[in-house]
Amino acid sequence: MTYSCPPKGHFAPACIPVATFTIFNINKPNFKGGYIRLSDFRGSENQGPKTLEAIKNPNCGWFFRATASDFKKIPGSPIAYWVSEKMRHVFVKGIALKELGDTRQGMATSDNNRFLRVWSEVSFDKAFLKAKSRDEAFDSGKKWFPYNKGGNFRKWFGNSEFFVNWEKDGKELLEYAASLYGSPTRTIKSISEYFKPCVSWSKISSSHLAMRYYPSGYLFDVAGCSIFSPSENELMFLLGYSNTIMVRRFLANISPTLNFEAGQIASLPILRMNQTAFIELPRRLIQKSKKDWDSYETSWDFTNLPLLYPDYRQSTLKDTYTKLRTHWRDMTLEMQRLEEENNRIFIDAYGLQDELNPEVPINEITLTCNPYYRYGGDKSEEELEALLLADTMKEFISYAVGCMFGRYSLDKPGLILANQGESIDDYLKQIPEPSFPADNDNVIPILDGDWFPDDISERFRKFLRVTFGKDHFEENLRFIEKALGKDIRKYFLKGFYNDHVKRYKKRPIYWLFSSPKGSFNALIYMHRYRPDTVSVVLNDYLREFRTKLCSSVDHLKRIETGTGALQAEKTKALKEIERLNKMIKEVEDYEREALYPLATAQVEIDLDDGVKVNYGKFGAALKKIPGLVAKED
């Protein structure tokens, strides 16, 4: 196999695999053909000389000999001439993975927009996370259940982001599939395995195979292929085995692409041996990976922000972050050590010590707290650290906003208000004496100035004082603003909502009422939305804001026309009057064209419909989210 690249000065570099070969039209199973592997040498200027060198020196490292019978030792009989004799021996002597675990392809809903939700979109009280069987799921009366949809390159645990509508044993979904295909099982596959624990991988990957553990409670997608076994020990063994560098090499022989089909995984070779020595490491790796996954509010098992854990608490935010960052670094290195040990014990057991190195690159330690994995690319260590610090401060701010709305509380771990229509009274039933109280009316203004006492910037300053004390408040605020590269008010005005939309995968749980040029902004929490919420935004905030703008204009006019002010002050007042008048015009148009009609309509929403449907009901009143109504999920 060679790679043909266009000459310089033509199109951008792109290499196309090319194979040149000579064949006999007779069967010679034991004839050893000669093969030259040039895929490591890109460009015709390199491949010609390397071909001649291989002919002169068969021991060069890229010249191989193999027979047709050698190819038959590997499932699918690929022309994998580079495979060593020891590795072929594993394929010959080993049993197929399917003899230990049942590899399955999951369902295709045929309409993800209808049947799937990012878990944070819906009322949490309509979800059941830990059903152990279809009967238990049915008896619960719940609508939404965890759904394994594959996802990004992540090993051991994670990518738990979606719910699927499986109410009444999937009645609506099954009927829909039957209406399209005659039989629902044409697309709703492997129903017998739903809710069972499994290990799973993403069928389509931009990287290597990454296997994850899913406990009982999940249904699974066509892209979240899974392996099932009645034995938990066997699942742990298969998880540890599948995440090795050894299996990566096996798959390179079976599957030359990055699409990992269930049949290919099922054909992986496993040597018969006592599994006991192989199951403890996967358990530890799952535990650490789950702890990392649950440290972020996008996990349904999130309880509290690591930055606020007592274990890392120091006198200043900077010192607290430094201690937390040290813990993350140690955690990443420990994961790397455990993964390399997992590689080593499998490599040794399979006798491949001379061919495989157990080392795992730091960027393949799939923890969100590991910047080498999280950001990737060719960034310097300084750039990676700056990104991690900035994102950690943004997560602190996001958690603060969650506490402002009552989604979270400093006084109780986990979700507080996460169901449709919940109010401040529901919050106070759980948190009767909050150290940082939630907002009463579910509207928080975001404005360029101190126009309201409950403005989001002022609320955040109070949150910072409550969490890290008054003594170092100014120092802590400077630390946050330096990490963000802007002051806190400017971040809320220009950066927060974009980060929120990105964090929640274009399914924001906080919605931003925003005038066309952003002169007026007010944030609400969709789970606390009521039909009169828009009226509150209109009457208590937008109109009040306009009244204050008009009062400011009147005050400035007195300066501009008065006799006691200097000419420079009058000129400055005149410019400010012009600016404020433009703002007044903008908010008046926004009220007339967008907000007032909505307030009059008393719009109803149903969280079961998802953000795409509900956000769209508010039209130009809400800040536009590019791609919200793009392709199907």
- Residues belonging to the chain: 633
* Token digits of residue 418: 């996460």
- What's the whole-model pTM score? 0.89
Q: What are phi and psi of 149, to 5 degrees?
A: -110, 20
User: pLDDT tens for residues 475-488?
Assistant: 999 999 999 999 99
User: pLDDT tens for residues 253-274?
Assistant: 776 666 788 888 999 999 988 8
CA distance 219 to 197: 10
Closest CA to 111 of 189, 174, 169: 174
User: pLDDT tens for residues 15-54?
Assistant: 555 666 666 667 666 655 666 666 666 766 666 776 665 5
Among the ranges given (72-81, 370-379, 500-509, 607-616), the one the predictor scored with the smallest mean pLDDT: 72-81
Do the Cβ atoms of 212 and 155 come closer than 8 Å?
yes
| Segment 497-507 mean pLDDT | 97
At residue 57 the predicted structure's pLDDT band, cuts being 50, 70 and 90, is low
At residue 251 the predicted structure's pLDDT band, cuts being 50, 70 and 90, is confident
Instruction: Supply the mean pLDDT for the chain.
Output: 90
> In the chain, where are the structural domains located?
2-71, 102-374, 382-621
CA distance 267 to 54: 33
* Token digits of residue 556: 């400035």
| Segment 408-429 mean pLDDT | 97
Q: What is the layout of strands, in order, in the sheet containing 162-165?
A: 116-118, 162-165, 144-148, 219-220
CA distance 347 to 361: 17
Going from the C-alpha of 64 to that of each of 17, 55, 57, 87, 619, the distances in angstroms are 18, 11, 11, 15, 65
At residue 195 the predicted structure's pLDDT band, cuts being 50, 70 and 90, is very high
- Residue 188 pLDDT > 80, yes or no? yes
Report pLDDT for 254: 73
Burial classification of residue 25, based on how many CB atoms lie within 10 Å of its CB (0-12 exposed, 13-18 middle, 19 or more buried) = exposed
CA distance 46 to 62: 13
User: pLDDT tens for residues 519-571?
Assistant: 999 999 999 999 999 999 999 999 999 999 999 999 988 887 887 778 888 88
CA distance 456 to 439: 10
Concatenated DSSP letters for 320-361? HHHHHHHHHHHHHHHHHHHHHHHHHHHHHHTT-TTT------
